[in-house]
Amino acid sequence: MLRELHIRNYALIERLDCQFMPGLNILTGETGAGKSIIIDAVCTVLGGRATVESIKGGEDSALVEACFEVEPDSAVGRLCTDMGYPPEDGLLILTREVNRSGRHRCRLNGRVVPLHVLADVGQALVDVHGQHDHQSLLRSETHGDFLDAFIGEDAFSLRRELEARLGEYRQIADRLTKWKSMLARQASDRELLAHQVNEIEQAGLRIGEDEQLEQEKRVLQNASALYEGVMGTYEILYRNQLSAASLLGRGAATLGNLVRMDKSLTALWENLQSTQIVVQEIARELRTYGEGIEARPGRLDEIEERLELINHLKRKYGRTIDDIIAKGAEMAAALELEEQQAGEHKELQARYGVLQRELKGLAAELSELRKSRAARLEEAVQRELEELNMPRARFQVAFLPNDSGTPLGDGLRITLRGTEHIEFLIAPNPGEEPRPLIRIASGGEMSRIMLALKTILAKGDNISTLIFDEVDAGIGGQTADKVAIRLARLARDRQVLVVTHLAQVASMADSHYRVQKEEINGTTKVNLARLQEDEPVEELARMLGGNEVTARQHAQELLNRAGRIKQLAG
C-alpha cells in the first residue's frame, strides 16, 4: 500500500507531502487544479516516462519519492528480495530524480538502481488506470494472465511446467541453430581432415629424422671419395708392414726391452702400447665404414624418396617435423571433437523432439483448461456490466494462435503463456461485433468494463494499490452510483486511489483529499490536503453545485447514504 508521497519541484508542485490510508482514497478538486499532475508524478516514480518538461520552472531538478508498505512474503516483497533489494522494516521507498542535465537518478530503499528495476517493482506495486490508459487490461498480451488468475493454481501450475521446459527448449533450439551451419561445413571438411590426419600418421615421422637422412644422403652422394679415403687411411694405419700399427708395435717391443733396464720408461712404454691399440681400433672402424658404403648401393634412392615425403608434408603442414607432428595431433583432436559434436548434436536433436512433444501436450492441456473456464469469466463480467448499467453488452474471451514466439512445429509458436494469444472482446450494444477493448470509443463504456474486470479479478491480482484517474468520466446518474459502490467494494481488501469529478463517487471515500491550485506572489502552486470534520460536506457541495444550502443538504445525504452502504457491506 502507498503510505507516503513526497513531491518536489514537479510541474506546478513546489512541495507536496501526503499520507495515504488503506481503503478508498478520493482526490477531488476544480478542473485544472492539478490532480492529474499528482498522478503523473506517481507514474514517474513508478518508472514511467519522465522529461525535463516535468521540472518546475526555474529549478534544476524534480524529485518524487513514494513509500510503500509491503509484506516481505508478498509477491512484490519476494520480487525485490530476489533482485537483491529486500524490504526494510516492511517498507519500500522508491525515489526518482529528474535533472535538466538529462541525468536521471533512480533509487530503491536509498540504493541507486537502473530505471527498469524501478519500473518492474512499480508495476508490481501499483496499477494505474486512466480514461484512455488502462495499462494492464488494455495490454492484450496480459489478458491470458488475467484469465489464468481467474482460473487459479491449476492454470499457473501448468504454466510453471511449461516455462521450465520452454527455457530448455529455447536453449537447445539456439544451440541447434548455431550448429546448423557449422556442422554442414564440418561435414564437407571432415573427409579432408581425416585424410590429412591419416597422411601424417602413415608417414610415421620421427623428430630429427630429416637431419639424420640429410647427413646420410651426403655420405652416400660422396661414397667413392669417402671409400677411397677411408680405405687408404686404413692401409696407412694397419694393412702393410710400414703401417702405423706395425711401426708402433715395433717401437713398443723395443721400449719393452729397455724397461727391463730402466723402470722409469714404463709409463712411456704403456702409453705407446695404448696408442697402438687405439690405432688398431680406428683402423678396424674405418674398414667397417668402408665396407658399409660398398654394401648399400640402393640406400640413396630410399633416402631421397623419404626426404621427398617429408618435404611434401612440410609444405602442407609446417616448417619442421615437430610442426608436422603437432599439426597432426591438432587435426586429430579436431576430428575427434567433431565426432563428439556430431554425437552431441544427435542427442540434442532427440531431446529437442522430446521437449517439443511435451510442450505441445502442456500447451494443449492449458488451452483446454482455459477454454473450459473462459465461459465462467464471461458470465461473471456480464453480471458486473449489468450492475453497471450495461445490461445488453456482450463480453467475450477470444483465443487466437500466437503470431510471435518460439517455433514449435506444425505452424505453432509458443511463449511463456502457451501457444495461444488470449484477448478480451466487448460488444457494448446489440448488433455489434465484439471488438478488442482498446478499440472501444466511449470513455464511459471503457470505464465500466475496466471496473467490472478489476472487481472480478481482484482476488487473482497481487497488486495492492489501484489508482483510477477519472475512471468515471462520461457517466452520471444511476451509473455513477453503481460505479461508486463498485469502487468501494474493490477497496475492501486493497488500497484504491480515485481522481473523480462525481460527488456520488467521492461520497464513498474512506479518506477524502482536496487538490487546490493557488497563486502566491505571482507563482502558481498545487497543494493536496486530507479533509477533516465537515470539510468533506463542503467539498461534495462544491462538486454538486447549484444552491449552496441545497447542495450542502444533498452532500450530507450522499455521505449518510454512503455510510449506510458501507455498514451493510461490512
The residue written with cell numbers 681400433 in the block is 281
Beta strands in 82-144 (DSSP E): 91-99, 105-108, 111-112, 126-130
Q: Indicate if the pLDDT at residue 468 is higher than 90.
A: no
Q: What is the pLDDT of residue 369?
A: 96
| Confidence (pLDDT) at 182 | 64
pLDDT digits (tens, 9 = 90+) for 125-176: 998 876 544 455 667 777 888 888 888 889 989 999 999 999 999 998 888 8
The structure's pTM equals 0.60
Residue 136 DSSP one-character state: G
pLDDT, tens digit, 9 for 90 and up, residues 487-527: 888 888 889 999 998 899 999 999 999 998 887 776 778 88
CA 413, CA 406: separation in Å to the nearest integer?
5
**Residue 290 CB partners (closer than 8 Å, separation 6+):** 226, 227, 230, 231, 234
- Cα 237 from chain centroid? 88
Buried b (16+ CB within 10 A) or exposed e, 490-506: bbeebbbbbbbbbbbbb
Whole-angstrom Cα distance, residue 33 to residue 470?
Answer: 14
Q: State how far the Cα of 133 lies from the Cα of 446, in Å rounded to an integer.
A: 10
**Which superfamily does CATH assign the domain made up of 2-131+445-531 to?**
P-loop containing nucleotide triphosphate hydrolases (3.40.50.300)
Per-residue model confidence (pLDDT) at position 41: 92
**C-alpha–C-alpha distance, residues 430 and 382, integer Å:** 14
- Cell numbers at residue 531, please? 479533509
**Considering only CA atoms, which of 126, 127, 143 is closest in space to residue 135?**
127
Closest Cα partner for 531 from 28, 24, 8? 28
Least confident of 2-6, 94-98, 180-184, 324-328: 180-184
- Nine-digit cell at 35? 490532480
Q: Which stretch of 107-116, 159-168, 239-248, 277-286 has the lowest confidence by average pLDDT?
A: 239-248
Q: If pLDDT is split at 50, 70 and 90, which confidence band does 374 have?
A: very high
CA separation for the pair 482, 383 (Å, rounded): 13
Q: Residue 570 above 80 pLDDT?
A: no
At 185, the pLDDT band (50, 70, 90 cuts) reads: low
| DSSP classification of residue 9 | E
239: which DSSP letter? I
Task: Please check whether residue 487 is in contact with residue 496, taking contact to mean a CB–CB distance below 8 angstroms.
Answer: yes
Q: Residue 359 has what pLDDT?
A: 94
Could you tell me which residues come within 8 angstroms of residue 518 by beta carbon, excluding any fewer than 6 positions away? 524, 525, 527
Q: Which residue, 488, 497, 482, 502, is CA-closest to 542?
A: 502
Specify the 3-state DSSP secondary structure of 71.
coil
Residues near 537 by beta carbon (within 8 Å), at least 6 away in sequence: 552, 555, 556, 559
Q: Where are the domains of the chain?
A: 2-131+445-531, 152-364
Average pLDDT over residues 402-413: 89
CB-CB contact of 397 with 420 (8 Å) = no
Cα 172–chain centre separation = 15
**Dist. CA 46–CA 55, nearest whole Å:** 17
pLDDT in tens, 424-466: 898 888 888 888 877 764 666 777 777 787 778 766 567 889 8
